[in-house]
Amino acid sequence: MKKALFTILFIGSMTLAAQTTTSKITIHAEQGKNVINKEIYGQFAEHLGTCIYGGIWVGENSPIPNTKGYRNDVLEALKKLQIPVLRWPGGCFADEYHWMDGIGPKDKRPKMVNNNWGGVVEDNSFGTNEFFNLCEILGCEPYLSGNVGSGTVEELAKWVEYITSSGDSPMANLRRQNGREKPWRLKYLGVGNESWGCGGSMTPDYYSDLYRRYSTYCREYDGNKLYKIASGASDYDYNWTETLMKNVGGRMNGLSLHYYTVKGWNGSKGSATNFNKNEYLWTLGKCMEIEDVLKKHISIMDKYDPKNRIGLVVDEWGTWWDQEPGSHPGFLYQQNSMRDAFVAALTLNIFNKYTERIKMANIAQIVNVLQAMILTDGSKMVLTPTYYVFEMYKKHMGAINLPMDITSDTLISSKRSFPAISASASKDNNGKILITLANADPDKNKSVEIDFTAYKVSKVNGTILSAKAINSYNTFEQPNEVTPSEFKGAKISKSGFVKIEVPAKSIISLELQ
């Protein structure tokens, strides 16, 4: 009943949307120089809830249509996103995962209790071979999170050898024994996860020394080059970044950062679908605060690394709400509304802006957990609003970021204020420009004028993602409540400007030639 009343509230507000405000975007196409790292659009799959088991993996004998155990519907949906990189096996799970339990014949693999997420028993049927084969199917880079919290240097070093060595070595021969003759390619290696918390409750000084030890013994085999990522800070912990940059420095290729759009870590985090306008605005204000957090961490990195050799890796980000009523409390299964789509759109626009330092980002998570791309229930599958944002934004990957200036009215929530209009622009190798644009105002349309300082526009095509209400979402029974459609509200003026009528609570992608 509450949801119905709330939906009426927002539908009713649409009648007020005739009130339109004007915004202006100036795109400096001639100043573009930094490539938007495609890994910014990365994904994250943890052994948590039904992300792996039931979400990606159902096993070869499942009645759910699958290819060698991977469910076909999820595979096809993920292929369309052109995922650049996939992080696995955690998260907190990574620092309790012992990789040798997940190799060899499936019926002989030992079971384990997932102490971090629900205390459930899993059979390790999805392990190293299954993950790396999945990455090959999807055409993405694997990003491995190594066990530092409860593991050993020897264990992680042997894992790298098992995966990447082509020599006549014990671990390479064990891989061959398990059915994989040639080595896989492993570029991204995470040395621990959240080592300040679930990954070992360490101090930054202690972790710095531990990282130096682990990174020394994780060797490169047969031409495989490792991009080693140190376990970095949680949102506002600037001292952690300072300490690692000072103590570890050039021994790491990347430094991670985690930032969740969440009310807090104690008590209720709020419903994913039953919220009011003030809660919606608070969420977007918290989401936009990531830009200030990024600036501060980047400033510290710039002090110790002025030549920009160490990448910032935001390998966990997204919304975190209460689990859906009736679902397992340790599985973090949440619905995904138009509000979540805005968090994705606004955050990706920010990441594109700081691509000179941000080398990767991994939204949490890919299926059935937190801000997921996909939800499944048995044989049923549905795509979320966040999935469609990634689909609309994917052509930014590998394109040149175009600096811009935005003039917009602001939205206010509590002590935070933020622009109603968020945007990002890039130019690909063929000279085509992609503009992603979000009007976060739930009530007012925006008239947006885009001025290109050194680019003549002759053609524009668009896609829009919007919904009846800001808390609209897709279900298995109604999978098309929030889906993209063609956008025809962009016009090229005689002076060469692009003028757009942007509806309230909408996200738009424009392709210009």
Strands 433-439 and 506-512: antiparallel
Give the C-alpha separation, 439 to 419, whole Å.
Answer: 9
356 included as an active-site residue: no
List all residues 6 or more positions away from 421 whose beta carbon is below 8 Å from its beta carbon. Answer: 23, 25, 406, 408, 437, 438, 439, 440, 446, 448, 502
Residue linked to tokens 């009523």? 325
- Burial classification of residue 185, based on how many CB atoms lie within 10 Å of its CB (0-12 exposed, 13-18 middle, 19 or more buried): middle
Distances (CA, A) of 485 to 34, 269, 500: 30, 32, 16
Query: Which among 505, 469, 435 has a CA at the least distance from the CA of 284?
Result: 505
Judged by DSSP in three states, 351 sits in: helix
Per the CB < 8 A criterion, the answer to whether 418 and 441 are in contact is no
- Of residues 316, 449, 477, 501, which has the active-site annotation? 316
Judged by DSSP in three states, 99 sits in: helix
Distances (CA, A) of 102 to 145, 175, 249, 250, 418: 15, 12, 33, 33, 46
- Of residues 194, 356, 486, 501, which has the active-site annotation? 194
Give the C-alpha separation, 425 to 322, whole Å.
Answer: 34
Per the CB < 8 A criterion, the answer to whether 248 and 188 are in contact is no
155 included as an active-site residue: no
Cis peptide before 179 (omega within 30 of 0): no
**Can you give the C-alpha Rg of the chain in angstroms?**
23
Residues identified as active-site: 194, 316
